[in-house]
Amino acid sequence: MNSFDYLEVSVLLNPFTEEMAEILTAELSELPFEAFVTEAPCLKCYIQTVNYRPSDVKVVLSGYPAASGFTAAPVQGQNWNRAWEQRFEPIVVDGIVTVKAPFNENVPRTRFNIWIDPQMAFGTGYHHTTFMMMQRMLGLEALIKGHSVVDMGCGTAILAILAAKMGARKVFAVDIDAVAAHSAWGNCRWNKVGTRVETACGDASLLQMGTYDVLLANIHRNIILEDLPTYVRSLKRNGHLLLSGFYQADAPAISAAAEALGLTPAGSSEREDWVCLEFVKN
């Protein structure tokens, strides 16, 4: 690619709130954007020029009056990586797990340490959901160790890497975005778990290749609702399903759909307005 193969799409928010920026990040992440940076009063979104369709962005933003307009301008690819780096802060979960980048300083070592390559990272708005997913995974260590795990919509593969470091026998990390799947592949090898984590580019239909003890899906609510039947079929009996990537307002619909498919609620977590739900297949 030449230096101008990327566009910076700036969405002006009026009034600007961090919550609205995160909501729009979740909505726009269904388009082929590769990174998001919040800089009041804008949400800046980065996308390859060939994948940019202004009409698609307009449709997404039409339901949000606070999004008062957007502009697109060429940007050098390394610039949005640098902007992402400046926003990345290490995640420390209960003093047990640390997710960090090489430029993070004075980060304590914990039992599980995960390195993420900032040159291949996606998004900045999901730390709350990632935190809760990891937190609930730690409570399932006996079920993860020696068993099979799926990280659906893996992105940078943070959850897949943690599962492998927790002793999972085999981890399957899937993302529909080819660049994300490549990012996952690289991060798994960087963390020395590449032999136990298989990465693939595709959708939930890939899960039909096997059944799993734990299924992780930190994805947008609409994708979860669409793919829940596949998740349930892919779980072994007594398998656990962890879901996040959505707000409190979305939890009732997702819980109802899961229970209608025969899953039993096994707990939930909340962090600000984000939610993580856990279910068991009986």
pLDDT at 60: 93
pLDDT of residue 163 exceeding 60, the answer is yes
Is residue 1 domain-resident?
no
Digit-coded pLDDT (tens) for 20-38 = 988 898 888 888 887 788 8
Identify the burial level of 179 via C-beta atoms within 10 angstroms of its C-beta, where 0-12 means exposed, 13-18 middle and 19 or more buried.
middle
Identify the burial level of 97 via C-beta atoms within 10 angstroms of its C-beta, where 0-12 means exposed, 13-18 middle and 19 or more buried.
buried
Lowest-pLDDT range, 67-71, 153-157, 175-179? 175-179
Please tell me which residue, 184 or 3, carries the higher pLDDT value.
184
Is residue 105 domain-resident?
no
pLDDT at 268: 96
Q: How confident is the model at residue 78 (pLDDT cuts 50, 70, 90)?
A: low
Say if residue 160 is in the same domain as residue 247: yes
Mean pLDDT, rounded, for 216-242: 95
Give the Å distances, CA to CA, from 158 to 39, 225, 249, 261: 25, 23, 26, 28
Say if residue 64 is in the same domain as residue 142: no
Say if residue 145 is in the same domain as residue 258: yes
pLDDT of residue 190 exceeding 80, the answer is yes
Q: How far apart are CA 61 and CA 27, in angstroms?
A: 9
Say if residue 272 is in the same domain as residue 175: yes
Q: How confident is the model at residue 80 (pLDDT cuts 50, 70, 90)?
A: low
CATH number, domain with residue 76? 3.30.70.260
pLDDT at 122: 52
The answer to whether the bond into 15 is cis (omega within 30° of 0) is yes
Please tell me which residue, 6 or 71, carries the higher pLDDT value.
71
pLDDT at 176: 87
Mean pLDDT, rounded, for 164-177: 95
pLDDT of residue 93 exceeding 70, the answer is yes
Per the prediction, the chain carries an average pLDDT of 89
Say if residue 49 is in the same domain as residue 145: no
Lowest-pLDDT range, 210-214, 230-234, 247-251? 247-251
Please tell me which residue, 209 or 218, carries the higher pLDDT value.
218
Mean pLDDT, rounded, for 134-161: 95
Per the structure, how many domains does the chain have? 2
pLDDT of residue 128 exceeding 90, the answer is no
CATH number, domain with residue 134? 3.40.50.150
Long-range contacts of 164-171 (CB under 8 A, 24+ apart): 164/188, 164/191, 164/193, 164/196, 164/197, 165/112, 165/114, 165/191, 165/193, 166/112, 166/137, 166/138, 166/141, 167/141, 168/144, 168/196, 168/214, 169/196, 170/196, 170/198, 171/196, 171/197, 171/198
Are 168 and 194 in contact, with CB atoms under 8 Å apart? no
Say if residue 131 is in the same domain as residue 258: yes
pLDDT of residue 42 exceeding 60, the answer is yes
Is residue 249 domain-resident?
yes
Where in the sequence is the domain holding 216, given as residue range(s)? 126-281
Structural element, H or E, at residue 72: strand 67-75
Say if residue 216 is in the same domain as residue 76: no
Is residue 69 domain-resident?
yes
Task: Return the percentage of the chain with pLDDT > 90, whole number.
Answer: 61
pLDDT at 157: 93
